[in-house]
Homo-oligomer: A and B are copies of this chain.
């Protein structure tokens, strides 16, 4: 397995030069993260990911998790110690609320760290990742008492968390869920039912596991309007807030999966487990969706993170493996063959990988920054716009980055040739791990439906119009001869997205199936447009650095990679538009038995 090196240089380029986060230096959190602090955090995070987590990635895949006869789950060798280092290093508290022991740093910084964690060991990263989601749900929906009881220990990592939605007969369609909650009369409830695919559901690394569980209170309305959220700790906190009596929730089995073997994916059986309502009765989905939206950004990040590792593996392979001669004459005449990076078709795959990881990184960091601004910006206009962008772009971050991320990992495997199919080189694990990201936290098809069915029309189409205005402004501002190709790329893609949007508004309302039939292509066209914009922003920042006299090669390289994006990625925009405009009719013609 080759090394993983955290892409700190590229992260710094995006944070400092593209996003210029220091312009927000007066805002809460940002004030504590001047450039030298950011650099130090990235450097320390890189060491932890490279030296502690990455060496455990293959072990996690090979050993997997094992359910013990007593219902406890054994995690792979070394995970326990790595988890201890993670929490002792304060990493789980990086962007958490200082009121509960967090460091209160901006979320974009946490995202940069999470990219490294996920690249080096996705299965491990899911343990603290799920806790982060649970913390978020409690912060949004919990009472002050609940927050004081749970948040400090969860933020420090002493306790961990999970989210429990799926049941055997329902995943996407939560309206059908059956897990029951019966009031005990003392404000607590008895929770009974079965949940499946619960990531990090059971493991020995934290002293307690705090399950957030969707259930239906006896007598609640049918469907999604009768679902409540409960907090159900593995050990009931005693009077001192320490883990006490064992609660009636147990891991009933581990899923046999295609990948992420290092994460324990549990069947969780609730047998009159004691739980407490989080938020109002029957309003559980609302909180769960807040948490889910954050989790979706995290899954999009996984798409990027695994593609980065795959890129590093395949780049190392392509420089090292000698096979055949360059089409334009030997490049390595002293050796029996040239390294395969000289072959155009190998470069094509490497350039596609490079385009993806760099734009994906810019896109995720930009989105995380919007998340920060939504909460801490000084003026309402900035807050509103940032919130609109977050809502609009969350399904795109999730689905576009995982669809394209998976393709990117697959290209990395392809560069390895036969070696890619063997376990020895590590890349096939990345492909197996990556495959889940297209599915969980709402399949990518569900993301596309969320985009066309909800996000587009939100607030009288304010978010999409605001997004278009941003692109138009970018195009107008960047008409210099050097920037023109990039501005043209944005305009080209935006024009097609605008047409597709108009088509959707007209035809989607006429027949909802038109919206459904167009949804995935629309999401991809949207993602492509975001990438065009990100490449425009990166080109602009690079040109500014070059104009300032910098000769660091990263800037010239960015311009080449951006040009490759314009030449090789943008042409897909027309194909997406043509598919969208073909509508639902043919797609929906056949009866089920005619397939």
Q: Which A residues are within 8 Å of any B CB, using their own CB?
A: 166, 170-173, 175-176, 196-197, 255-259, 315, 319, 323-324, 327-328, 336-337, 339, 341, 343-351, 354, 406, 410, 413-414, 417-418, 420-424, 428, 431-432, 435-436, 438-440, 443-445, 448-449, 511-513, 515-517, 519-520, 553, 557, 560-561, 563-564, 567-568, 571-572, 574-575, 578-579, 582, 584, 586-590, 592, 594-595
With A435-B431, A516-B345 in contact, do A587 and B172 touch (Cβ < 8 Å)? no
Q: Is the CB of A439 within 8 A of B414?
A: yes
A445 vs B352: C-alpha distance in the bound complex, in angstroms?
15
Q: Give the docked Cα–Cα distance between A333 and B87 (Å).
A: 51
Q: Is the CB of A571 within 8 A of B567?
A: no
Partner of A515, one of B327, B443, B586: B327
Asked whether A176 lies within 8 Å of B575 as measured between CB atoms, the reply is: no
CA gap between A24 and B60 in the complex, in Å:
59
| 24 residue pairs from A and B, CB less than 8 Å apart | A171-B323, A172-B324, A176-B337, A255-B422, A259-B421, A327-B512, A327-B513, A339-B592, A345-B445, A345-B517, A347-B587, A348-B517, A348-B520, A348-B587, A351-B587, A410-B435, A414-B439, A418-B439, A557-B594, A560-B594, A564-B587, A568-B582, A572-B575, A574-B575
Interface pair A440/B418, CB less than 8 Å apart: yes
Residues of B within 8 Å of A327, CB to CB, are 512-513, 515-516
What residues on B are CB-neighbors of A257 within 8 Å? 421-423, 428
- In the complex, the 4 A-B pairs of residues with the closest C-beta atoms, listed nearest first: A344-B516, A327-B512, A571-B578, A567-B582
CA gap between A571 and B575 in the complex, in Å = 5
* Residue on B nearest A444 in the bound complex, by CB: B414
Q: Are A315 and B595 in contact (CB under 8 A)?
A: yes
- A560–B589 CA distance with the chains assembled, in angstroms: 7
Given A344-B584, A431-B435, A582-B568, answer yes or no on A170-B323 (Cβ-Cβ < 8 Å).
yes
Whole-angstrom distance between the Cβ of A313 and the nearest chain B Cβ: 13
Residue of B nearest to A428 (CB): B258
> With contacts A344-B587, A587-B344, A587-B347 known, is A323 near B592, CB below 8 A?
no
Please state if A564 and B586 are interface contacts (CB–CB under 8 Å). Answer: yes
Q: Is the CB of A423 within 8 A of B256?
A: yes
A354 partner, pick from B258, B417, B595, beta carbons under 8 A: B595
Q: What distance in Å separates the Cβ of A21 from its nearest Cβ neighbour in chain B?
A: 26
Chain B residues whose C-beta falls within 8 Å of the C-beta of A440 in the assembled complex: 418
Bound Cα distance from A323 to B166, whole angstroms: 12
Chain B residues, Cβ within 8 Å of A348: 517, 520, 587
**Cα–Cα distance between A420 and B438 once the two chains are bound (Å):** 11
Q: List chain B residues, Cβ under 8 A from A515.
A: 327
Q: Is the CB of B578 within 8 A of A328?
A: no
B418 A438 Cβ-Cβ under 8 A:
no
- Chain B residues positioned under 8 Å from A595 (CB to CB): 315, 341, 350, 354
Nearest B residue to A563, CB-CB: B586
Residue of B nearest to A337 (CB): B173
Q: A110 to chain B: closest CB distance in Å?
A: 27
Q: Tell me, rounded to whole Å, the shortest Cβ–Cβ distance linking A436 to chain B.
A: 5
Whether A449 contacts B345 by the Cβ 8 Å rule is yes
Per the bound structure, the CA–CA distance linking A553 and B444 in Å amounts to 33
Closest to A584 in B: B344
The 8 Å CB contact of A443, one of B354, B417, B431, B511, is B417
Chain B residues whose CB sits within 8 angstroms of the CB of A563 once the complex forms = 586
Q: Are B449 and A435 in contact (CB under 8 A)?
A: no
A586 CB to nearest chain B CB (Å): 5
**Across-interface contacts of A438 in B (CB, < 8 A):** 414
Give A558 to B540 CA distance when docked, in angstroms.
Answer: 51
Docked complex Cα distance between A202 and B344 (Å): 37
A239 to B569, CA, bound (A): 64
Residue on B nearest A345 in the bound complex, by CB: B445
Q: Which chain B residues lie closer than 8 Å to A582 at the CB level? A: 567-568
A203 to B327, CA, bound (A): 41
A520 to B444, CA, bound (A): 27
| Candidates B346, B350, B439, B594; contact of A420 at CB < 8 Å | B439
Contacts of A171 in B (CB 8 A): 323, 417-418
The reply to whether B579 and A571 form a contact with Cβ atoms under 8 Å apart is yes
Cα distance, A74 to B438, chains bound together (Å): 37
Q: Which residue of B lies closest to A572 (CB)?
A: B575
CA distance A418 to B196 in the complex (A): 10
- Alpha-carbon gap, A561 to B328, bound state (A): 44
Residue of B nearest to A350 (CB): B595
**What separation, in Å, do the CA atoms of A347 and B592 have in the docked complex?**
10
A46 CB to nearest chain B CB (Å): 19
Q: A328 touching B513 by the CB < 8 A rule?
A: yes
Report the Cα distance A432→B197, complex, angstroms.
21
If the complex has contacts A258-B428, A258-B432, A571-B574, are A418 and B197 also in contact, measured as CB distance less than 8 A?
Answer: yes
Q: Which residue of B lies closest to A511 (CB)?
A: B328
Complex CA distance for A171 and B519, rounded to whole angstroms:
42
Please name all residues of chain B whose beta carbon is closer than 8 Å to the beta carbon of A561 when the two chains form the complex: 590
A435 CB contacts on chain B under 8 angstroms? 410, 413, 421, 428, 431
Residues of B close to A567: CB separation below 8 A: 578-579, 582, 586
**B173, B511, B564: the one within 8 Å of A323 (CB):** B173
Bound form: Cα–Cα A12–B94 in Å: 64
Bound Cα distance A341, B591 (Å): 10
| Residues of B with C-beta under 8 A to A579 | 567-568, 571
Bound form: Cα–Cα A443–B258 in Å: 24
Contacts of A520 in B (CB 8 A): 345, 348
